[in-house]
Amino acid sequence: MSNDHIHPPPSSFFYKYIWSTDHKVIGKQYLFTAFFFLLVGGLMAMLMRWQLAYPGSPVPVLGKMLSALAFIDDDGRVTEEGFNQLVTMHGTIMIFFVVIPILVGAFGNFLIPLHVGARDVAFPVLNALSYWLFLPASVLIFASLFVEGGPAQAGWTSYAPLADLTQTGFSAGHGQTLWLLALFLVGWASILGGFNFLTTIIKLRAPGLGWGRLPLVTWAQFITAVFQLLATPVLAAALCLMLVDRLLGTSFFIPEHVYPGDVASGRSGGGVVLMWQHIFWFYSHPAVYILVLPGMGIASDLISTFARKPIFGYKAMVASMASIMGLGFIVWGHHMFVSGMQPVMGKTFMISTMLIALPSGVKVFNWLGTLWGSSIRFTAPMLCGLSFLSMFIIGGLSGLFMAATPVDIFIHDTYYIVAHFHYIVFGGTLFAVFGGFYFWFPKMFGRMMHEGLAKLHCALTFVGFNLAFFPMHFLGEAGHMRRISTPTEYEWLMPVQPMNVFISHSAFLLGAAQLIFLFNFFWSWVAGRRAEPNPWQSNTLEWTTPSPIPYYNFDKVPTVHHGPYEYSTAGAETDWTPQDRPDAGPAAGPAAGAGKGH
């Protein structure tokens, strides 16, 4: 446990910021790339909401500016094809270029080595390589917005044969091919991250840091990494199959004699359309958990820290995440209830999906148990953590309706689905992400974010989010299909059109509120109050380092003596107990036997 092995930090700009192997810098590289895409994807959502509220009227202000893009015509209107492109790219960008990079690329990279008391991840060079696979993918997906014919428009799920056909108009352009290539690169970036993080957590934990002392953030990242390692290669394979279908004229997803246009062009047929959905969802259902598990981990840390209480049921929290992982691999069929499926298979997938409600329920119960009877500090990160909790409950409950085959057949492909997954991914995950930034910003940049602006942002987001997404449940029940560009074309949707207008205005409020966050982020980076090492009086190892964290994290590799959530321990010097604080011993302690029992 000495200072040996510490390299001096790199002095050249190139090795410090571009080809850096420092997990903290790589985390920030992921973060800023994801912020850029958050703006792009958010703007796309605004364009869609404008079109849905006022179909066919030019988008004010932005319409003219963006008319060079394929999805906006010269008068600044969103075209019908363009709406498909917006739906597709909004989903793709938010999932693969915003939420996963922020959760895993930014928070995972930044926190995992700190939480295990290591100086970096196990394979720093591969870690850098992971970002440098992610960046070309980002360039490809962004470039696809500008190619002839516009970006991909077959939905973020790119169902075959829609996305597979190159002869017909719909997916004839290069947009879909670029989409496949970009996701392939993102996939391998994700796999590299996955096995790097797993190796780090399994092999590089500091002395004394047993599995029972790992913060739940890092447990969540551990389980996420298993998904990345084992599910992402299957996505990569699916993308390859579709790529060769498009580029080499194979027919993996094209049956015989069904698509005359393509058969006439020399396709042999003999493929299986549904196979795409099976392979795609075998990855993409676990991907849903990649999208939410790290958020659960962040929320656990926020709630325990600001409730000043140990997390309720630590082992149950870990076990529930592990069972979500196990079940997560055998539920993908619930996305395909209406695609055509043997009833026995449908029932099997229904039961396995409903089982996931159990571990999710355990987690909610334990978060509430942590809050029970505590003296809560209502800081900005805590408000975000509580928002996560309440939004996750709503999103989780609406998920149960989809799990039941008979109900799902009714609500499939309606706005009910849109409401559900936005409650999980925006209401759940993004609130955890905002909370995570307010919480760890001092560690990342050495300054505090502005608390007042943060609270304002949290409140406006909470209100705007619920006003925008809760009514979508009603739209779905009224039969409002998702992914349609012009709801006013359908007579039975006319009565709910005012609701569409209301949702759009709420969404504009929600979008505008995010500007407060971005302003606060960059303003605090430059001019925020300088942070002390442990501003939140938290336990885990990153708070034992100075703010901002020095190049090699720890002067000395820490020795861990405590679990991560020992708050308000009777007889302890302070109401928090840093994980590396040595035990005082029975004789020297302030009160004999006061040490918390495990």
Partner 1 sequence: MYQPVAVAAGDHAQAHESEHEVSKFGMWLFLASEVMFFAAFIAAYVVLRAHSRGAFAEAARELNVVLAAVNTLALITSSLTMVLAVGAAQRGDRRGTVRGLAATIALGCVFLVIKYFEYSAKFHHGIYPSTNAFFGCYFLLTGFHGLHVLAGIIALSILLVVASRGVFRDGYYTPVECTGLYWHLVDVVWIFLFPILYLLH
- DSSP per residue, 227-267: HHHHHHHHHHHHHHHHHHHHHT---TT--TTS-HHHHHTT-
Task: Report the distance separating Cα 446 and Cα 283, nearest Å.
Answer: 38
Cα-Cα-Cα-Cα dihedral of 300, 349, 242, 133, to 10°? Answer: 10
- Residue 234 CB contacts under 8 Å (≥ 6 apart), including other chains: 279, 282, 283
Token pair for residue 82? 């363009």
Q: Are 424 and 442 in contact (CB under 8 A)?
A: no
Query: Is the Cβ–Cβ distance between 179 and 158 less than 8 Å?
Result: yes
Q: SS3 for 379?
A: coil
Distances (CA, A) of 104 to 26, 179, 183, 271, 523: 11, 21, 16, 35, 25
Q: If you write DSSP's letter for every residue of 310-328 in order, what string do you get?
A: PPTTHHHHHHHHHHHHHHH
CB distance 521 to 437 below 8 Å: yes
Question: Rounded CA gap, 456 and 468, in Å?
Answer: 18
Dihedral sign, CA of 288, 293, 298, 300? positive
Count of Cβ atoms closer than 10 Å to residue 465 Cβ? 23
**CA dist 41 → 119, 281, 335, 361 (Å):** 35, 22, 24, 31
Could you tell me if 265 and 167 are in contact, meaning their C-beta atoms sit under 8 angstroms apart?
Answer: yes
Residue type present at position 336 = M
Query: HSE on the CB side for 157, CA within 13 Å?
Result: 18
In angstroms, the CA 17 to CA 26 distance is 8
Sequence letter at residue 97: F
Angular region, 571: left φ>0, alpha ψ -120 to 50, beta rest: left
Per-residue tokens: 508? 């504009």
Q: How far is 233 from 327, CA to CA, in rounded Å? A: 19
Residues 6+ apart with CB under 8 A from 342: none
Cα–chain-centroid distance for residue 408?
24
Asked if 271 contacts 238 with a C-beta cutoff of 8 angstroms, the reply is no
Point out which residues bind partner 1 (CB under 8 A).
1, 5, 7, 21, 118-126, 191, 194-196, 198-199, 202-207, 229-234, 236-238, 240-241, 244, 248-252, 266-272, 275, 278-279, 282, 557
Give the residue among 135, 431, 7, 96 at the shortest CA–CA distance from 283.
Answer: 96
The answer to whether 32 and 135 have CB atoms below 8 angstroms apart is no
